[in-house]
Structure 1
Amino acid sequence: MSSKQLLVKICFGLVVGIGLLSCERDPFTTNPNHKLEFSADTVRFDTVFSTISSITLELRVYNRHNKAIKINKLWLEGGSSSVFRFNADGYPSGQTKMLENIEIPANDSIFVFVEITPQANMQSTPVHVTDNLLFSLNGQTQKVILEAYGQDVVVLRNYSLTADETFSADKPYLIFGYLHIPKGKTLTLQAGTKIFINRGSKMILKTGIRNIQLDNTTIVVEGNLVANGTTDKRISIRGDRFDWAYTNIPYSYLPSQWGGIYFFSETGNNRLKNTTITGGNIGVLLYGSSTIPVKLDVDGSIVHCMGAYGILSQFGDLSVINSEVSNCGKSAILQLGGSLKMIHSTIANYMPSVFAGGNTSRPAVDIVSFTKKNGAVAAFPINSCVIENCIITGNLQNELSLQDTTLGIPFNVFISNCLIKAEKLSYPQLHEIIQTRAEGNDIFVQTTPDFDNIKESGYFDFRLSEQSAARDKANMTVSQHYPTDLLGKNRLSDNKPDIGAYEK
């Protein structure tokens, strides 16, 4: 054998030997003191609706030692009947809710993903559900607690009323697709009713009267919607996510999670009283015509955090009393023709840039009598617009826009005794106006929350601050017709009512 051949064989043997050594598994530790570490001692879900699969939560399992660890057994203490399930290192727990021989290399980690589908509990209040995720290794057992609150819910999928119905506060309602109130039918919401709306997909709803393009799950009203909340038992309409979109922002604070409430009623008795609507795209849409307006009374209600508009009224007959419309990606109130009566309401547009939609470029209140497209003018006559004792403010320098025209289109607008943020106000329709350039925290309790510390700092609070220019400045004659504020507080007790929805 030549020296070259011998050298090749030696090199080949070294390569193979090194390869075999590199393929050998790390030796497993058998030291009972070598334990796992976890990213959390409890995997905690918030409210999860019964029979509906939860979101997936993550647990990270660490091996901080210089030898590999073998988890001999990983299982749920509740066994196969547990309502929880998990996936560890890519392996699903299956019907047995158990895995064996899971390996974690030295100084490495694995992910465990946990879900839950609670069973119906036949109760109106949430039920605490717990289990333990157990890890057996080196003769020791470690555990991570799993917990959630299971809430029974009435599930409605692409639901259209066939008769008058009443929703009660006994159990919440979960809407998928759409909730449709046909012409001639009335849906009544009792005080304390909670409606949760799942994020949906685009569809066309064919009602027999019109075809409606829906971009998300939506409540469609062609008949009547009557929401009868009270100050202590408010009605809630919001998205169905209870978890956190980011580590510091819960989904309950985010817009565009569902579509909105769309009113197409040719005739009707629509009312939203003491109702809180949050997290949609257009909170309330009134879609009427110049001959048949859509009527809606909003009283003591909150429309908050919308991706586009808070209330968009096209040829609506809209009344907004003692209400808050706030933080919308576009205008909080857009009136395209029709009639608007807005008294003692707070219109505050402080949409944070961190949210979808970012800071709005539209004024908080926009009153429009015409639009132009390709040179053609579309008329939206403003038959009546009366705004009194209201706050109109936000992030922009000018938060009120009145779009009149010299084309003879009716523009009957009267605005008085309001606090309005603006650089300059020269509209002849304004009377006894307090013009301000003040930032939000000079008017309200809080408009710049600390999102890095949201649980402690709180969220937006549009009650008046101590130094607010809106204090004691309302027109008493108007206030006497509306003696209590949005929260039920007497605004006449000191004979100096405040402007806006909240009495200090």
Structure 2
Amino acid sequence: MKKKFFHIVLTLLVSSFVLSGCFDENFSNDPNDHLTFSTDIVKFDTIFTQRGTATLSFKVYNHAKKSLKIESVTLADAANSGFFINVDGSKGPVIRDLEVRGRDSLYVFVEANVDPANQNSPLLIKDSIVFITNGVRQDVKLEAYGQDVNVLRGEVLPDGENITFSNEKPYLIYDSLVVSPASSLILPEGTTLYFHSKAVLEVKGKVEAQGSTVRPVTFRGDRLDRMFVDLPYDYLPGQWGGIHIHKDSYDNRFDHVSMRGTSTGIVIDSSDVSRTKITFSNSVIHNSSNNLVSSTESKIVAWNCQFSNASGALMSLSGGEAEFIHCTFANYFQLMDVIKSPLLIFDRYTQTDQSLPLKALFANCIIIGNGTLMQPLELLNTQIYFNTCLFRVDGSDDENFNHCIWNGDPMFVATGDNYQYNFNLSSESSAAYRAGNTAFVNENTRTDLLGNPRLEGINPDVGAYQYVTPIE
């Protein structure tokens, strides 16, 4: 019994000594042992007021052999800034007595929720997270831009009225925005419409988007954060629904519009082909997870436009009439899905008892990308014509293809590296350079999409953009 008691006492003494020794040996009080951080500043993309952001995080490292005791972690201006922190599972704004073991790390999570600023321009909000370790003060800066918005939830514009949106601050649309019959929605230059997931613009009346080269009218999704460091959600398709132009809607005008990131693109219902359904000019329609533009027995007109990147067709025309002058059709879609359709789809292109055949003209256009060019491939005896267009496939002219550039390389600036796209011409060696027909340079196309002149007496470049010699 005495022997057993002796072993118990000895074990307790040894355990106490070991624990005490470990604590003394592994816990540092040296001010030279300090923390390091994975970043010295956490920056949020612009966030809408009264709506929380996605959570960002950074890591806190202890590179010393011994454990470090963090006396406090404090959000310096928590009462005013709108930031929130969580350190290793403990919520702020003040967390005390944290331990980081030697050669170990912990996570800090940061959120932001910005109150309305009652101003039109984005407001810069700053704060810092202060760490005190062994009496040493260190901090990580926090920054965010808060943007006030006009919030619309299932808004139906009054019937029979002309409504002009303000360009002073953006609109954030949930569910839908409906332009009633006999109404007009006027969007002046610089107007931005952010659409929440699956939200749509339903046009039963008319939309007049009147942007400019430096201040386009913008339609885009409302995700302002990033999927990855180098991949903003704004680069992705499927961020919002799209635009639906209904049967009795006519004379829509999209001038200097930037539209991107949709699920269904622009869907145009059948109507009276003697009236113009929509006119696109100097605009960029980009990135859809289905067709980019789908028109059924309608009349559409476009010049100086870029139609780019879709999992479906860039342009699906079913009957009706269409004219595209100095447009760039480029499909290098690669994010979230694959290209599932030809660039151009033509349907109802022959005479039937129920409808007139499709009439379409593409002139001075670039039509290029990954995947099949068009459907059908054989256009003989149709009223679908291509005049002075550039293709990246082999072919030859016939009655439907006139003076076309076959197997030509437009030499675009960027076609998807690091998720970047730029369909300007990069060189005078481009097959599109001065290859256009002067007959299609008129009052509308005297300048290109960016406002660069197409000079009189010189053949224009094919596509929406004129090559501009870089200034050295």
1:400 aligns with 2:374: yes
Write the distance in 2 (CA, Å) between the matches of 1:81 and 1:248: 30
- Which among 208, 214, 235 is matched to residue 253 of structure 1? 235
1:74 is paired with a residue whose SS is strand
Aligned to 2:452: 489
Counterpart Cα distance in 1 of 2:229 and 2:9: 53
Give distance in 1, aligned partners of 2:315 and 2:13.
75
TM-score using structure 1 length? 0.83
**Aligned partners of 2:109, 2:353: CA distance in 1, in Å?**
55
Q: How far has the Cα of 1:380 moved from its partner?
A: 6.8
The amino acid that maps onto 1:170 is: E
Amino acid at match of 1:49: F
Aligned: 1:122 with 2:96: no
Matched, 1:192 2:190: yes
Q: Does the CA-based 8 Å contact 1:265-1:294 persist in structure 2?
A: no
Structure 1 CA distance, aligned partners of 2:17 and 2:194?
59
Does 1:135 pair with 2:98? no
Q: Deviations over 1:82-127 (max 9, x none)?
A: 311111111222xxx2222222222221111111111222222112
Q: Give the CA deviation at 1:151.
A: 1.4
Alpha-carbon separation, structure 1, partners of 2:117 and 2:191: 19
Please state if 1:310 is matched with 2:310: no
Corresponding residue for residue 369 of structure 1: 348
Shift of 1:426: 7.3
Stretch deviating more after TM superposition (130-139 or 379-388)? 379-388
CA offsets 1:377-425 (integer angstroms, 9 cap, x no match):
99775342111111101123x423337799xxx9422221111232345
Could you tell me how far apart the structure 1 residues matched to 2:28 and 2:448 are? Answer: 68
Matching of residue 108 in structure 1 with residue 90 in structure 2: no
The 1:30–1:418 alpha-carbon spacing in structure 2 relative to 1, beyond 3 Å, is same
Conserved in 2, the CA contact under 8 Å of 1:381 and 1:411?
Answer: no
Query: Which amino acid letter does the alignment assign opposite residue 182 of structure 1?
Result: S
What secondary structure does 1:252 align onto? Answer: helix
Instruction: Supply the distance in 2 between the matched residues of 1:335 and 1:154 (Cα, whole angstroms).
Output: 35
Indicate if the aligned counterparts of 2:349 and 2:383 stay in contact, CA closer than 8 A: no
Q: Distance in 1 between matches of 2:283 and 2:170?
A: 19
Contact 1:485–1:502 (8 Å) recurs in 2: yes
Aligned residue for 2:28, secondary structure, equals: coil
Amino acid at match of 1:420: F
1:462 to 424, 428, 432: 424
> Deviation digits for residues 23-55 of structure 1, max 9, x if unmatched?
998553222222111110001112111222111
In structure 1, runs of 5+ residues without a counterpart are: 201-215, 372-376
Measure the CA separation in 1 of the matches of 2:329 and 2:21: 68
Aligned residue pair count = 461
Match of 2:165 in 1: 167
1:165-314 equivalent positions in 2, closer than 5 A: 165-198=163-196, 200=197, 216-288=198-270, 295-314=277-296
Correspondence list, 1:29-44, <5 A: 29-44=28-43
Q: Is the contact between residue 384 and residue 413 of structure 1 (CA under 8 Å) also seen in structure 2?
A: yes
Residue 84 of structure 2 corresponds to residue 73 of structure 1: no
Q: Is the 8 A contact 1:287 1:294 kept in 2?
A: no
C-alpha distance in structure 1 between counterparts of 2:315 and 2:421, whole Å: 22
Classify the secondary structure of the residue corresponding to 1:255: coil
Q: Distance in 2 between matches of 1:187 and 1:24?
A: 76
Q: What is the aligned counterpart of 1:337 among 311, 315, 319?
A: 319
The equivalent position to 1:430 in structure 2, one of 371, 386, 401, is 401
- Aligned-pair identity in percent equals 30
One-letter amino acid of the counterpart of residue 419, structure 1: L
Give the secondary structure class of the aligned counterpart of 2:79: helix
Matched, 1:445 2:408: no
Give the superposition deviation at 1:283.
Answer: 2.5
Aligned Cα RMSD in Å?
Answer: 3.2
Q: 1:476 aligns with which of 415, 419, 438?
A: 438
1:133 and 1:82 mapped to 2: Cα distance?
Answer: 12
> In structure 2, how many angstroms separate the alpha carbons of the residues matched to 1:388 and 1:426?
14
Letter paired with 1:356: M
Aligned position for 1:386: 361
Letter in structure 2 aligned against 1:117: N
Q: Which amino acid aligns with 2:442?
A: Q
Alpha-carbon distance, 1:134 to partner: 0.9
Runs of 5+ consecutive residues of structure 2 not aligned to the other structure: 468-472
Work out the CA distance in 1 between the residues paired with 2:171 and 2:21: 57
